[in-house]
């Protein structure tokens, strides 16, 4: 009897380490002689550095090095290299590193960092992407034209535009001519924090032979390797990166930031091992943050509610440096319409420089933001046309035969089944049984819904490798580069492998951490693509191992490999399963009774890179940016207290087309966790800036997060429309729970209060203001 | 991470504590008393205070009592907010302190520390203001017992070297009708937009506030208005609002305008629950 592995809720491989507190994270690593680094940061959002006085810092016993940006002038960042790891000449955000201290003890480094005296000359501050967009806005990057470009990026020198993506589909004149109804809306959301439980931490050491060893809390160990190699001219193979378990990341640990600093710190003390650990405050503002958006949308539809035109402007708040904000702004252009069939689309999606902390990828990668904007627009349109909000979405739901904003033609495999998700959601939240809005004295219950879709926007050659090593007892070690950030991917990959090898998943070993020296490369653990990329590599490696087992067994058993099957720990004749041989007799090579041996250790190898992706045409956006879309429908039910405008989130629901659910418990947890994050930042998370651009809430006592006990009832369900290129048909689901939550919350509260809520976070004060300002 | 060195002392008697303070002060060590320590850590991490020495009061027996003595409830300054609300000798105080910070922090934060702290909400003082509690203070000149109204004005007014030992509350107050509201920006944990504690004695409603201004207060003028039988509830609230002792706060929790709206709402709820009877 062969145990099925796919579709089962097997527990995480690292369960025992985690529940007993023995799991090791980067900050748990200590070694004799380890030095500690701390950074001094800018108290200004935009200023010229006139001078830096390090003398007081040097006076403290135990200080080993104090460095500034001049120590190793280099510009980092991808796709656009615009950021010095330590500021040079200019600071562009509150919290930007201006100097770094290395000392024997962490507190000595901190004490010294506080004694660094910097003289600044203040510059005018750009407070928002809209301000940055104005003709006469102060220019934050004077040398934008000179910055080195990796990947596709279209900065506009002389402005604050770090990237512009254009979508030009169909004919707008035609679209507006055919529109019987039009609506216009502006939607904004501020920058916020990733707020992972584990703070960012990195350790570096440069060995006498020039080898660089880095430990880091990261989603991108292989990108760290490349970035350190390129920035500091070290041969790639001499940079070795270790990533143990990561305690939450949500995109925030895909950027390379601490790693540059800790490398420089180690270099400044002759290569000794140095650790750099963020405080919560620095993790929130000095390291990169969640992007903000200011969006304008105009939609047009026919009398029947068929959308025929969309004009969209996205101004993303990329902050002081562009990092992945560039790519997020592109992603938000690629999927700008939401999952709706619209023939005429004009979109400009811009990543703007501001004097805010810089943004990097955040779970959903531009989609929670674009979805809030388009889904508020959809509700407004439904209202204008007097259509049920779900009805207008069903009517316009994109599907096979339609084209996307980038003019990709859809089929059932690459887009899944949105109408089915909508139908299932309808039942799940009793849409037809109860009114959308129910009034009971000063309490109003209301429902809000939305749809979403998301493709990935990876480099066109993003890929992964995997190695399957058989042990002498028939058990297997799986080596791969997917980082365990709490999502359960490494365990789920062993399920794919067990399914393909038709063996017990408990016989498969996988380490908790990643080591770039021994594990095959995986682009990054981002974009909800690890199960797809690494999973395909794992299946190929499994097939390779199966072929080796069959080849050896065919000699032993006297059948051709094609007549053999592998499963249940045996290789056997297809037509007579009782004729076969145990896998463990083959995995180290088969030894005949006379001692002769054939074959050798069975080591399967596999790799996979995404085929058929193209860059986007810079003028029209035409192209194929990613392999498939995960679609879904979501809902939120709130209970608003009209006396004080406080509200309770009663229910939150998601129905998503997962292609194939590999581990139901992981899938449900992953989607629920995403929903919780989405509701948290939609309802309360935001950085508060004062007039000078300083951030006022750099601690979790004033920066609010949803807390345990405040969660609604979570309803999660799946549709399974296979994606033919995905392992067992799976689609990406890691980020998607978050995407529609802000939109569904805003829609539910707008319905409840009867006034449009087009801004995040939706605190009771915001609702009060919306009501107050509307009368 | 606290980025400086400091000395730690843990005296086991009041006298020893006072002497230590005097001695350390003379040595120029800028000593501070503490009990739970959460605020020391808060401010020291931010490099906002630099004590050369800290004096931990938690081993002083008098600071750890929670008992009835004749007609009085006596609470030591080092009793934690968790213990105070679990034992619950003073229901209004329990309700007030259980809304401060979160459970983990309340296991450390003490009533003395909350009242004497620099963080300006100091919500634990509200029930003490309403019940005219008395405060036992130790200092160089020995012990003294004074009315809370003599030492608490916006914040505790202790002289150098003095510390709060005990809080004494007349038993008669503990069973009076009361209400307590804490309104936050959002969620169940965090600083207040408005905290209002109120009780009713001899048909008169007493109210005290935190979060409204940059300090907690009880205002006799406001109470006069709120108890004026000639006024409607709306009039009472409108008139009370103009008698606030300082400008209404604007901070990360909310703007002054919104706070005023919430304050009025909260006053109205308090009055409707305590009026009549």
Separation in Å, CA of A56 to nearest CA in chain B: 15
Q: Is A691 exposed, middle or buried (0-12, 13-18, 19+ CB in 10 A)?
A: exposed
Q: Quick one: pLDDT band at residue A418, thresholds 50, 70, 90? A: very high
Kindly report, residue by residue over A115-137, the tens digit of the pLDDT.
Answer: 999 999 999 999 999 999 999 99
Q: How many domains does chain B have?
A: 3
Residues in chain A: 775
Q: How many domains does chain A have?
A: 3
Q: Of A584, A609, A634, which residue constitutes the final position of a domain? A: A609
Q: Across the beta sheet with B66-69, what order do the strands follow?
A: B66-69, B72-76, B163-170, B134-139, B142-147
Q: Do residue A465 and residue A447 come from a single domain?
A: no
Indicate if the alpha-carbon torsion angle A268, A271, A273, A278 is positive or negative. positive
Residues of chain A with C-beta less than 8 angstroms from the C-beta of B191: 701-702
Q: Specify if B202 maps to a domain.
A: yes
3-state helix, strand, coil in chain A (%, to 5): 30, 30, 45
Q: Do residue B185 and residue B248 come from a single domain?
A: yes
Between CA B25 and CA A328 the distance in angstroms is 57
Q: Specify if A180 maps to a domain.
A: no
Q: Does B187 touch chain A (CB under 8 A)?
A: yes
Contact at CB, A763 and B186, closer than 8 angstroms: yes
- Pairing of the two strands B53-56 and B142-147: unpaired
Contact A46, A96 (CB under 8 A): no
Q: Do residue A653 and residue A740 come from a single domain?
A: yes
Contact at CB, B186 and A114, closer than 8 angstroms: no
Contact at CB, A697 and B4, closer than 8 angstroms: no
Place of tokens 């041989």: A581
Q: Of B120, B145, B173, which residue constitutes the final position of a domain? A: B173
Domain limits at B225?
176-274
Long-range residue pairs from A434-440, CB within 8 A, at least 24 positions apart, any chain: A436/A389, A436/A751, A437/A751, A437/A752
pLDDT of residue A2: 62
Place of tokens 């280099």: A74
For A301, the token pair is 């539809």
Domain limits at A373?
292-459+614-773
Long-range residue pairs from A696-702, CB within 8 A, at least 24 positions apart, any chain: A696/B251, A696/B252, A697/B252, A698/A95, A698/A280, A698/A281, A698/A284, A698/A285, A699/A280, A699/A281, A699/A284, A700/A195, A700/A280, A701/B190, A701/B191, A702/B190, A702/B191, A702/B252, A702/B253
For A587, the token pair is 């995995």
Q: Of A575, A609, A643, which residue constitutes the final position of a domain? A: A609
- DSSP letter (8 states) at residue A411: -
pLDDT along chain B (277 residues), means of 10: 95 98 98 97 94 98 97 98 98 97 96 96 98 97 97 97 98 97 97 98 97 98 97 97 97 97 97 86
Q: Specify if A352 maps to a domain.
A: yes
Q: Specify if A437 maps to a domain.
A: yes
- Pairing of the two strands A713-719 and A646-657: parallel
Q: Specify if A315 maps to a domain.
A: yes
- DSSP letter (8 states) at residue A134: S
The contacts of residue A762 (CB under 8 Å, 6+ apart) are A682, A683, A745, A746, A749
Q: Do residue A576 and residue A659 come from a single domain?
A: no
Place of tokens 């490099």: B47
Between CA A490 and CA B115 the distance in angstroms is 50
Place of tokens 């085929």: A611
Q: Do residue B130 and residue B152 come from a single domain?
A: yes
Q: Of B138, B173, B208, which residue constitutes the final position of a domain? A: B173
Indicate if the alpha-carbon torsion angle A113, A118, A122, A126 is positive or negative. negative
Q: Do residue A510 and residue A434 come from a single domain?
A: no
Contact A357, A319 (CB under 8 A): yes
Residue A107's closest chain B neighbor by CA? B3
Kindly report, residue by residue over A716-737, the tens digit of the pLDDT.
Answer: 999 999 999 999 999 999 999 9
Q: Does B120 touch chain A (CB under 8 A)?
A: no
Q: Identify which of A111, A646, A697 has the shortest CB distance to residue B3.
A: A111
Q: Identify which of B188, B254, B265 has the shortest CB distance to residue A710.
A: B188
Return the residue in B189, B250, B257, B268 with the most chain A beta carbons within 10 A, the one to mutate for interface testing: B189
Separation in Å, CA of B255 to nearest CA in chain A: 8
Residues of chain A with C-beta less than 8 angstroms from the C-beta of B2: 107
Between CA A560 and CA A217 the distance in angstroms is 49
Half-sphere exposure of B169 (CA within 13 A, CB side): 24
SS3 sequence of B188-243 = CCCCCCEEEEEEEECCEEEEEEECCCCCCEECHHHHHHHCCCCCCHHHHHHHHHCC
Q: Is A514 left (phi over 0), alpha (psi -120 to 50) or beta?
A: beta
Between CA B153 and CA B183 the distance in angstroms is 23
Q: Do residue A379 and residue A418 come from a single domain?
A: yes
pTM, two decimals, is 0.97
Q: Do residue B18 and residue B105 come from a single domain?
A: no
Task: Report the pLDDT averaged over residues A220-248.
Answer: 98
Instruction: Say if residue A682's pLDDT is above 70.
Output: yes
- Phi, psi (deg, nearest 5) at residue A101: -115, 140
Q: Identify which of A646, A688, A707 has the shortest CB distance to residue B252.
A: A688
CATH number for the domain that contains residue B44: 3.30.43
Rg (CA), chain B: 19
Q: Of A594, A609, A624, which residue constitutes the final position of a domain? A: A609
Between CA A205 and CA A226 the distance in angstroms is 16
Q: Specify if A442 maps to a domain.
A: yes
Q: Do residue B35 and residue B67 come from a single domain?
A: no
Other Cβ atoms less than 10 A from the Cβ of A284: the count is 24
For A328, the token pair is 């997020």
Between CA A412 and CA A406 the distance in angstroms is 18
Mean pLDDT computed over every residue of chain A: 97
Q: Specify if B2 maps to a domain.
A: no
Other Cβ atoms less than 10 A from the Cβ of A711: the count is 15
Q: For chains A and B, what is the number of CB pairs under 8 angstroms?
A: 54
Q: Do residue B82 and residue B165 come from a single domain?
A: yes
Kindly report, residue by residue over A474-529, the tens digit of the pLDDT.
Answer: 999 999 999 999 999 999 999 999 999 999 999 999 999 999 999 999 999 999 99
pLDDT of residue B277: 56
Q: Does A704 touch chain B (CB under 8 A)?
A: yes
Task: Report the pLDDT averaged over residues A647-672.
Answer: 98
Residues in chain B: 277
Q: Do residue A572 and residue A599 come from a single domain?
A: yes
Q: Of B173, B199, B229, which residue constitutes the final position of a domain? A: B173
- Which H or E run contains A444? strand A443-454
Contact A554, A561 (CB under 8 A): yes
Provide the total of helices (H) and of strands (E) in chain B, helices listed first.
Answer: 11, 14
The contacts of residue A38 (CB under 8 Å, 6+ apart) are A100, A101, A103, A106, A109, A110, A112, A113, A276
Q: Do residue B96 and residue B75 come from a single domain?
A: yes
Q: Do residue B148 and residue B109 come from a single domain?
A: yes
Q: Specify if A545 maps to a domain.
A: yes
Q: Do residue A764 and residue A696 come from a single domain?
A: yes
Q: Do residue B251 and residue B232 come from a single domain?
A: yes
Task: Report the pLDDT averaged over residues A408-424.
Answer: 97
Place of tokens 């879309």: A629
CA of residue A333 relative to chain centroid, distance = 17
For A664, the token pair is 């139901």
Contact A687, A625 (CB under 8 A): no
Q: Do residue A298 and residue A260 come from a single domain?
A: no
Indicate if the alpha-carbon torsion angle A100, A232, A525, A322 is positive or negative. positive
For A745, the token pair is 């919350």
Q: Does A684 touch chain B (CB under 8 A)?
A: yes
CATH number for the domain that contains residue A44: 3.90.1170.50
- Phi, psi (deg, nearest 5) at residue A10: -75, 150
Q: Do residue B181 and residue B259 come from a single domain?
A: yes
CATH number for the domain that contains residue B203: 3.30.390.50
Residues of chain B with C-beta less than 8 angstroms from the C-beta of A710: 187-188
Q: Do residue B156 and residue B66 come from a single domain?
A: yes
Other Cβ atoms less than 10 A from the Cβ of A290: the count is 30
CA of residue B113 relative to chain centroid, distance = 8
CA of residue A649 relative to chain centroid, distance = 25
Q: Across the beta sheet with A443-454, what order do the strands follow?
A: A437-440, A443-454, A630-641, A646-657, A713-719
Between CA B59 and CA B13 the distance in angstroms is 7
Q: Do residue A450 and residue A484 come from a single domain?
A: no
- DSSP letter (8 states) at residue B88: -
Q: Do residue B230 and residue B245 come from a single domain?
A: yes
Q: Identify which of B187, B251, B265 has the shortest CB distance to residue A684.
A: B187
Angle among Cα A691, A695, A700 to the nearest 5 degrees reads 145
Instruction: Say if residue A1's pLDDT is above 60.
Output: no
CATH number for the domain that contains residue A699: 3.30.365.10
Kindly report, residue by residue over A197-210, the tens digit of the pLDDT.
Answer: 999 999 999 999 99
* Residue A181 DSSP SS3: strand
Q: Specify if B116 maps to a domain.
A: yes
pLDDT of residue A537: 98
Q: Do residue A547 and residue A404 come from a single domain?
A: no
Q: Do residue A322 and residue A449 come from a single domain?
A: yes
Q: Specify if B111 maps to a domain.
A: yes
Q: Do residue A61 and residue A84 come from a single domain?
A: yes
What is each CA distance from A246 to A17, A582, A737, in whole angstroms?
13, 38, 20
Between CA A423 and CA A655 the distance in angstroms is 9
CA of residue A662 relative to chain centroid, distance = 20
Between CA A676 and CA A634 the distance in angstroms is 13
Q: Quick one: pLDDT band at residue A773, thresholds 50, 70, 90? A: confident
Contact at CB, A765 and B185, closer than 8 angstroms: yes
Q: Specify if B12 maps to a domain.
A: yes
Q: Identify which of B2, B261, B262 has the shortest CB distance to residue A107.
A: B2
């Amino acid at each position: 009897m062969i145990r099925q592995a796919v579709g089962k809720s097997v527990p995480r491989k690292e369960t025992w380490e985690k529940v007993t507190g023995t799991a090791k994270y980067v900050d748990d690593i200590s070694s004799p002689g380890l030095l500690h680094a701390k950074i001094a940061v800018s108290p200004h959002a935009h200023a010229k550095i006139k001078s830096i006085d390090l003398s007081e810092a040097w006076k403290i016993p135990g200080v080993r090095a104090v460095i500034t940006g001049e120590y190793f002038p280099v510009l980092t960042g991808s796709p656009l290299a615009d950021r010095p790891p330590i500021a040079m000449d200019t600071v562009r955000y509150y919290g930007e590193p201006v100097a770094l201290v290395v000392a024997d003890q962490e507190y000595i480094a901190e004490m010294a960092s506080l004694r660094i005296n910097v003289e600044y000359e203040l510059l005018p501050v750009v407070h928002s992407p809209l301000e940055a967009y104005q003709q006469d806005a102060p220019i934050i990057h004077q040398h934008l034209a000179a910055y080195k470009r990796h990947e596709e990026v279209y900065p506009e020198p002389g402005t604050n535009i770090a990237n512009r993506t254009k979508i030009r589909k169909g004919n707008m004149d035609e679209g507006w001519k055919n529109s019987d109804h039009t609506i216009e809306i502006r939607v904004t959301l501020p920058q916020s924090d990733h707020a992972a439980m584990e703070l960012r931490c990195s350790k570096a050491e440069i060995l006498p032979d020039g080898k660089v060893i880095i430990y880091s809390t990261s989603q991108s160990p292989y990108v760290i390797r490349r970035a350190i190699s390129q920035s500091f001219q070290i041969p790639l193979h001499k940079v070795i990166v270790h990533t143990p378990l990561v305690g939450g990341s949500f995109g925030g640990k895909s950027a390379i930031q601490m790693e540059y600093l800790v490398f420089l710190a180690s270099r400044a003390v002759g290569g000794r091992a140095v650790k750099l650990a963020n405080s919560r405050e620095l993790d929130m503002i000095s390291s990169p943050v969640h992007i903000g958006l200011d969006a304008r949308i105009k939609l047009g539809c026919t009398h029947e509610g068929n959308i025929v035109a969309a004009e969209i402007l996205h101004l993303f708040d990329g902050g002081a440096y562009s990092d992945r904000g560039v790519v997020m702004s592109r992603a938000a252009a690629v999927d700008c319409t939401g999952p709706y069939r619209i023939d005429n689309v004009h979109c400009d999606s811009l990543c703007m420089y501001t004097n805010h902390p810089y943004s990097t990828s955040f779970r959903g990668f531009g989609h929670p933001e674009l979805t809030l904007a388009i889904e508020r627009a959809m509700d407004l349109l439904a209202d204008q046309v007097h259509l049920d909000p779900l009805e207008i979405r069903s009517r316009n739901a994109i599907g096979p035969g339609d084209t996307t904003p980038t003019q990709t033609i859809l089929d059932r495999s690459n887009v899944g089944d949105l109408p089915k998700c909508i139908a299932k959601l309808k039942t799940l939240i009793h849409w037809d049984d109860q009114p959308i809005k129910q009034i009971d004295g000063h309490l109003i219950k209301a429902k809000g819904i939305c749809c979403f879709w998301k493709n990935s926007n990876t480099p066109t050659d993003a890929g992964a490798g995997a190695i399957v090593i058989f042990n002498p007892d028939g058990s297997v070690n799986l080596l791969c580069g997917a980082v365990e950030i709490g999502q359960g991917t490494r365990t789920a990959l062993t399920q794919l492998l067990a399914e393909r090898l038709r063996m017990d998943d408990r016989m498969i070993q996988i380490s908790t951490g990643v080591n770039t020296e021994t594990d095959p490369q995986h682009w990054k653990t981002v974009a909800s693509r690890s199960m797809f990329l690494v999973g395909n590599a794992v299946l190929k490696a499994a097939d390779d191992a199966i072929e080796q087992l069959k080849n050896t067994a065919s000699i032993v058993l006297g059948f051709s490999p094609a007549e053999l099957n592998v499963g249940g720990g045996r290789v056997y004749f297809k037509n007579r399963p009782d004729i076969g041989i145990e896998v463990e007799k083959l995995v180290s090579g088969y030894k005949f009774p006379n001692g002769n041996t054939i074959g050798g250790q069975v080591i399967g190898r596999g790799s996979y890179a995404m085929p058929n992706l193209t860059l986007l045409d810079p003028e029209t956006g035409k192209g194929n940016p990613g392999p498939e879309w995960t679609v879904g429908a979501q809902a939120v039910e709130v209970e608003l207290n009209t006396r004080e405008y406080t509200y309770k989130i009663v229910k939150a629901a998601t129905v998503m087309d997962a292609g194939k659910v590999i581990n139901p418990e992981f899938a449900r947890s992953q989607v629920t966790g995403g929903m919780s994050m989405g509701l948290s930042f939609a309802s309360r998370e935001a950085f508060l800036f004062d007039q000078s651009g300083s951030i006022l809430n750099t601690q979790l006592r004033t920066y609010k997060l949803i807390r345990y006990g405040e969660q609604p009832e979570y309803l999660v369900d799946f549709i399974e429309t296979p994606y033919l290129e995905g392992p067992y048909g799976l689609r990406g689901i890691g980020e998607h729970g978050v995407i529609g939550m802000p939109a569904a919350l805003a829609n539910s509260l707008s319905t409840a209060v009867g006034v449009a809520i087009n801004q995040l976070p939706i605190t009771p004060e915001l609702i009060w203001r919306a009501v107050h300002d509307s009368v | 991470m606290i980025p400086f060195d400091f000395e730690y002392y843990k005296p086991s008697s009041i006298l020893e504590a006072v002497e230590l303070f005097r001695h350390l002060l003379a040595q120029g060590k800028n000593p501070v008393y503490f009990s739970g320590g959460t605020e020391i850590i808060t401010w020291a991490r931010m490099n906002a205070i630099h004590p050369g020495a800290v004096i931990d009061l938690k081993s002083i027996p008098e600071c750890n009592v929670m008992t009835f003595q004749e007609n009085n409830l006596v609470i030591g300054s080092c009793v934690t907010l968790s213990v105070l609300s679990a034992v619950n000798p003073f229901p209004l105080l329990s309700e007030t302190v259980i809304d401060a910070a979160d459970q983990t922090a309340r296991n450390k934060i003490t009533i003395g520390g909350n009242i004497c702290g620099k963080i300006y909400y100091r919500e634990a003082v509200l029930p003490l203001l309403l019940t005219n509690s008395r405060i036992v203070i130790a200092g160089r000149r020995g012990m003294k017992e004074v009315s809370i109204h003599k030492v608490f004005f916006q914040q505790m007014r202790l002289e150098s070297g003095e510390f709060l030992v005990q809080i004494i509350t007349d038993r008669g107050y503990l069973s009076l009708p009361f209400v307590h509201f804490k309104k936050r920006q959002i969620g169940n944990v965090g600083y207040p937009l408005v905290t209002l504690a109120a009780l009713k004695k001899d048909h008169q409603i007493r109210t005290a506030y935190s979060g409204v201004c940059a300090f907690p207060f009880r205002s006799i003028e406001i109470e006069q208005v709120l108890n004026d039988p000639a006024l409607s509830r709306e009039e009472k609230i409108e008139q009370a609002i103009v008698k606030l002792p300082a400008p209404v706060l604007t901070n990360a929790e909310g703007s002054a305008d919104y706070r005023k709206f919430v304050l009025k709402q909260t006053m109205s709820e308090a009055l409707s629950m305590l009026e009549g009877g």
